């Protein structure tokens, strides 16, 4: 539900500003705003940040960046506790962490250097394996140059042409060794007297011939020595990298929590300086305005009184009509409903004074989900899966809430499964474990159709009633009257249909038609041409709830297909595999489709009747 907010004003001598900000920071309940008259009033203006504070902020910003980079260089330990660092201890901790920072930077640079060297050496692994055996046989030829070459296999005529040209240049004083390196490349090693080096180099500059260029540190070495050294390093480097990683992991275990705590403290100190931008001042006093949940106002006022006596005044101030829409929205629901607040994450916050739909979603979403799935077996499996995933993602609030919603909804699926007598389709009935208590979904499509339409009528009507009460509460008489007319048009029209199909006594026809005509005229007067259009839209909304029956029936049929295809097999193992695969697919669809369709019915059919977006989130000034 949307909590009532109180606008507050804090006034005190400038000398108490820093202390006041620290109290507000630790209280964590005040949504601070800029004083609206600071730019227009003669005696009140925006409070500038002093030069000393700006210098301190710059220093803290640089420190935060350093600590952030330090955390990025370290892998978080599997279990660590963030050390709580007070703002008064920030600089002491920064000094303590300097040697740690220097050590981590050196280790990281060393690891990067070793990794880069391993990457370079690995690039030559194919050439090392292919060319080294040839080069090793030529190691004693001191007056000869040795050149390693790679040639594309698509140019198979190149080796013959190259050998012919080398023979002309060297007058036959050469040797060529050739070997397949892989499917696309041929490796060659060419030896020749050093006096022909210039001419040979010029020849080798042609296309499709690539000389094996070694890294700079190996360039002056004989090819054989370079290849041997690279092979040895390739074997040694992974171990050296692991040694560095172990040192970094040890540092992380010892210091990660302290670094994380120091970073939060630095960011808190930056926030305390930054909040001065929101304050206003006169010649001798400061002024801060903001919003506090009404329930938290009195404890906050008492806290200020205990700390500052009458030196700082904290008082509630009147909210002007123009400011009502600017009031920040604080949504706080009972613990059971809280996970369902995740549905509002896809929408802009509701306006202050309007309705928080979370409690209604918490009631109807599990009902819709359970009505669609309606199977004990699938419900149990979804429950187990959601409990596992909820524990797996317990540190991520959004995912934890999603899987909590799924867990609650799976219980609804189990309850409906008991009513429908379904355990993996008709498997429970075949084994004589369970029987339908209310109806058999496969045979009661007409009944299910009527039930889902009744649910649709009730849900849409509830949305309109919520809108009526919300508008009455906010003293919007015209809007409330329009919604009442809208609701009467829908209900009276459905009554006429009920009379037509003999569900309602015909004696109600005349009053029903009269209500319909009067309501439609009233709606048109209040809403214009949009009124009748909204009425037609409402009928479409109600018909949308038939999807609860249609998708649920599709799930039932798929479960029956799984069981019947399994029973057709003569082998028990094959029967279990076939049925299991189809049930697994149906289980996946039983999570996805009911969730999507239930969400759609809320977002499109239900919320559209009363939800007012465009609110501002309540963001209290609090420590990280």
Quote the distance between the C-alpha of residue 467 and its chain's center: 32
If DSSP codes are grouped into helix, strand and coil, which group holds residue 80?
coil
pLDDT at 132: 58
Residue-range domain boundaries for the chain: 5-67+266-329, 125-213, 338-609
Percent of the chain past pLDDT 70, that is, above it, reads: 91
Instruction: Identify the residue whose tokens are 């109290």.
Output: 23
Per-residue pLDDT, averaged over 93-105, amounts to 86
Record the tokens describing residue 611, joined without a space: 């939800």
Highest CATH level, class, for 125-213: alpha beta
Mean pLDDT lowest for which of 200-209, 279-288, 361-370? 200-209
Percent of the chain past pLDDT 90, that is, above it, reads: 20
Highest CATH level, class, for 5-67+266-329: alpha beta
* pLDDT above 50: residue 226: yes
Q: Tell me the backbone φ, ψ of residue 602, rounded to 5 degrees.
A: -75, -50
Q: Tell me the backbone φ, ψ of residue 578, rounded to 5 degrees.
A: -65, -50
* pLDDT above 50: residue 347: yes
Please enumerate in sequence order all residues whose Cβ is within 8 A of that of 18, keeping only pairs 6 or more positions apart, or say none. 272
Give 306-330 pLDDT, tens digit per residue.
998 889 899 998 887 777 778 899 9
Helix axis angle for 445-473 and 358-373, nearest 10°, is: 180
Record the tokens describing residue 465, joined without a space: 């009633």
Per-residue pLDDT, averaged over 27-31, amounts to 91
Q: How confident is residue 397, by pLDDT bands cut at 50, 70 and 90? A: confident
Question: Mean pLDDT for the chain?
Answer: 83
Mean pLDDT lowest for which of 116-125, 227-236, 423-432, 467-476? 116-125
Q: What single-letter DSSP state applies at residue 336?
A: T
* pLDDT above 90: residue 409: yes
Rounded Cα distance, 454 and 466, in Å:
18
- Whether 125-213 and 5-67+266-329 are alike in CATH topology: the answer is yes
Rounded Cα distance, 332 and 338, in Å:
8
Q: How far is CA 279 from CA 5, 129, 287, in A?
A: 20, 72, 6
Q: How far is CA 446 from CA 438, 449, 451, 612, in A?
A: 14, 5, 9, 36
Give 34-73 pLDDT, tens digit per residue.
876 555 555 676 777 777 878 888 888 888 888 888 888 8
Q: How far is CA 252 from CA 81, 90, 395, 428, 469, in A?
A: 12, 20, 20, 54, 57
Instruction: Identify the residue whose tokens are 């919520």.
Output: 466
Could you tell me which of 286, 257, 262, 216 has the C-alpha nearest to residue 20?
Answer: 286
Residues 332 and 44: beta-carbon distance below 8 Å: no
Q: How confident is residue 496, by pLDDT bands cut at 50, 70 and 90? A: confident
Could you tell me which of 553, 336, 375, 548 has the C-alpha nearest to residue 458?
Answer: 548
Give 450-489 pLDDT, tens digit per residue.
899 999 999 999 998 998 888 888 888 888 888 888 888 8
Give 172-210 pLDDT, tens digit per residue.
877 777 777 667 777 777 778 878 888 877 777 765 566
pLDDT at 140: 46
């Amino acid at each position: 539900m949307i909590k009532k907010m109180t606008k507050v004003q804090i006034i005190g001598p400038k000398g108490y500003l820093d202390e006041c900000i620290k109290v507000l920071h630790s209280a964590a309940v005040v949504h601070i705003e800029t004083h609206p008259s600071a730019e227009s009033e003669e005696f009140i203006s925006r409070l500038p940040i002093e030069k000393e504070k700006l210098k301190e902020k710059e220093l803290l910003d640089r420190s935060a960046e350093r600590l952030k980079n330090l955390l990025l260089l370290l892998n978080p330990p599997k279990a660590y506790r963030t050390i709580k660092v007070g703002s008064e201890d920030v600089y002491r901790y920064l000094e303590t962490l300097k040697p740690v920072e220097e050590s981590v930077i050196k280790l990281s640079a060393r690891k990067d250097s070793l990794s880069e060297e391993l990457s370079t050496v690995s690039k030559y692994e194919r050439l090392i394996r292919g060319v080294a055996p040839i080069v090793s046989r030529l190691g004693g030829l001191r007056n000869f140059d040795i050149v390693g070459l790679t040639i594309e296999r698509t140019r198979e005529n190149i080796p013959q042409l190259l050998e012919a040209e080398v023979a002309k240049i060297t007058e036959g004083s050469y040797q060529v060794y050739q070997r397949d390196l892989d499917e696309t490349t041929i490796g060659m090693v060419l030896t020749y007297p050093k006096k022909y080096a210039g001419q040979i180099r010029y020849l080798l500059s042609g296309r499709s011939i690539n000389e094996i260029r070694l890294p700079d540190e190996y360039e002056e070495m004989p090819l054989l020595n370079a290849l041997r050294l690279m092979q040895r390093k390739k074997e040694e480097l992974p171990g050296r990298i692991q040694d560095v990683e172990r040192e970094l992991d040890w540092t992380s275990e010892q210091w990660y929590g302290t670094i994380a705590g120091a970073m939060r403290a630095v960011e808190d100190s930056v926030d305390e300086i930054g909040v001065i931008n929101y304050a206003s001042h006169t010649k001798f006093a400061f002024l801060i305005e903001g919003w506090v949940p009404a329930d938290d106002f009195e404890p906050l006022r008492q806290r200020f009184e205990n700390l500052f006596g009458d030196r700082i005044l904290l008082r509630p101030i009147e909210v002007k009509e123009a400011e009502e829409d600017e009031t920040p929205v604080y949504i706080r629901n009972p613990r059971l409903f809280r996970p369902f607040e995740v549905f509002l994450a896809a929408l802009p916050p509701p306006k202050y004074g309007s309705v928080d739909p979370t409690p209604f979603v918490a009631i109807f979403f599990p009902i819709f989900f359970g009505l669609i799935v309606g199977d004990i077996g699938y419900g149990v499996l979804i429950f187990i899966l959601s409990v596992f995933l909820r524990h797996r993602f317990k540190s991520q609030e959004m995912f934890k809430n999603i899987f909590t919603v799924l867990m609650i909804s799976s219980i609804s699926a189990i309850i409906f499964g008991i009513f429908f007598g379904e355990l993996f389709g008709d498997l429970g009935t075949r084994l004589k474990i369970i029987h339908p208590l209310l109806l058999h979904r496969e045979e009661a499509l007409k009944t299910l159709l009527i039930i889902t339409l009744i649910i649709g009528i009730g849900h849409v009507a509830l949305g309109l009633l919520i809108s009526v009460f919300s508008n009455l509460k906010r003293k919007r008489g015209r809007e409330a009257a329009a919604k009442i007319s809208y609701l009467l048009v829908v209900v009276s029209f459905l009554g006429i249909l009920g009379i037509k199909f003999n569900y309602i006594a015909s004696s109600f026809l005349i009053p029903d038609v009269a209500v319909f005509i009067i309501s439609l005229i009233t709606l048109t007067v209040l809403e214009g041409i949009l009124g009748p259009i909204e009425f037609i839209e409402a009928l479409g909304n109600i018909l949308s709830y038939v999807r609860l029956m249609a998708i649920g029936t599709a799930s039932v049929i798929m479960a029956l297909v799984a069981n019947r295809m399994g029973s057709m097999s003569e082998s028990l193992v094959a029967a279990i595999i076939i049925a299991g695969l189809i049930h697994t697919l149906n289980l996946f669809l039983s999570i996805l489709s009911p969730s999507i369709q239930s969400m759609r019915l809320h977002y499109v059919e239900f919320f559209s009747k009363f939800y007012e977006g465009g609110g501002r989130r309540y963001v209290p000034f609090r420590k990280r």
